[in-house]
């Protein structure tokens, strides 16, 4: 940066997390967590969220009107792989459309593969505290990068892994709600 100016190719943007903005996502551990009384203040849920799953184009128009040239978003694992080894063509097509919508607006997509949520089937099998979850995640990541890799060059594997370990396995305030330092260490 010279004399208070950002480089011409600097990426200006915002970020979202699929579960927090898309709405209607009932296939992950956070959805299940939200349904338990006392877990979420005021019993709020992500049922509707910001409804970005269906309104991403108008949302991206707003971002572009703010002169943003990049957007970081996550793709929801539970939508893409709702059951072990079963990949949803519809979900992958949806995320292709989302990334293309960013490209069409001159915005650089940055894709996060995991932003705090696990498919319910992962949670039921022990989540990140079991070795096979890393293998499942690798399979998922490979499929997503194969399907969407032509639309982005910027990837984040796991958003804030230390926060997942701390909130979910030390404090027990996020899924899976465990208070176990050994589990937290294994998760990291």
- Give tens-digit pLDDT for 154-164: 999 999 999 99
pLDDT of residue 21: 97
Residue 2 lies in a domain: no
Name the pLDDT band for 30 (thresholds 50, 70, 90).
very high
* Structural domain harbouring 41: 13-187
CB 73 within 8 A of CB 98: yes
Please, what is the average pLDDT of the chain?
96
> Does residue 1 carry a pLDDT above 60?
no
Residue 4 lies in a domain: no
**Tens digits of per-residue pLDDT, 118-146?**
999 999 999 999 999 999 999 999 999 99
Residue 130 lies in a domain: yes
Q: What is the pTM of this model?
A: 0.94
> Does residue 173 carry a pLDDT above 70?
yes
Name the pLDDT band for 94 (thresholds 50, 70, 90).
very high
Average pLDDT over residues 66-88: 99
Residue 174 lies in a domain: yes
Residue 7 lies in a domain: no
CB within 8 A of 42, min separation 6: which ones? none
Nearest CA-CA partner of 27 in 104, 133, 147, 124 = 124
Residue 50 lies in a domain: yes
What length is written for the chain? 188
> Does residue 81 carry a pLDDT above 80?
yes
Q: What count of other Cβ atoms lies within 10 Å of the Cβ of residue 102? A: 25
pLDDT of residue 46: 87
Name the pLDDT band for 2 (thresholds 50, 70, 90).
low
* CATH number of domain containing 90: 3.20.20.80
Beta-sheet pairing, 13-15 with 154-158: unpaired
Name the pLDDT band for 171 (thresholds 50, 70, 90).
very high
DSSP classification of residue 162: H
Backbone φ and ψ for 113, nearest 5 degrees, come out as: -80, -30
Residue 1 lies in a domain: no
**Tens digits of per-residue pLDDT, 45-69?**
888 899 999 999 999 999 999 999 9
Q: 129: helix, coil or strand?
A: helix
Say how many domains are in the chain.
1
């Amino acid at each position: 940066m010279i004399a208070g100016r950002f480089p011409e190719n600097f990426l200006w943007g915002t970020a979202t997390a699929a579960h927090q903005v898309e709405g209607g996502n009932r296939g992950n551990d956070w959805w299940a967590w939200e349904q338990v009384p006392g877990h979420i203040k005021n019993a709020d849920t992500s049922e509707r969220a910001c409804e970005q799953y269906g309104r991403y184009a108008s949302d991206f128009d707003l971002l572009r009107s703010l002169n943003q040239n990049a957007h970081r978003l996550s793709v929801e694992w539970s939508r893409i792989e709702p059951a072990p080894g079963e990949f949803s063509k519809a979900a992958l097509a949806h995320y292709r459309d989302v990334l293309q919508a960013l490209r069409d607006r001159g915005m650089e997509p940055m894709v996060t593969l995991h932003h705090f949520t696990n498919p319910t089937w992962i949670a039921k099998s022990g989540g990140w505290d079991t070795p096979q979850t890393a293998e499942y995640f690798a399979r998922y990541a490979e499929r997503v990068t194969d399907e969407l890799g032509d639309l982005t060059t910027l990837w984040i594997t796991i958003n804030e892994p230390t926060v997942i370990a701390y909130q979910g396995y030390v404090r027990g305030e996020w899924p899976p709600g465990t208070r176990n330092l050994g589990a937290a260490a294994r998760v990291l």
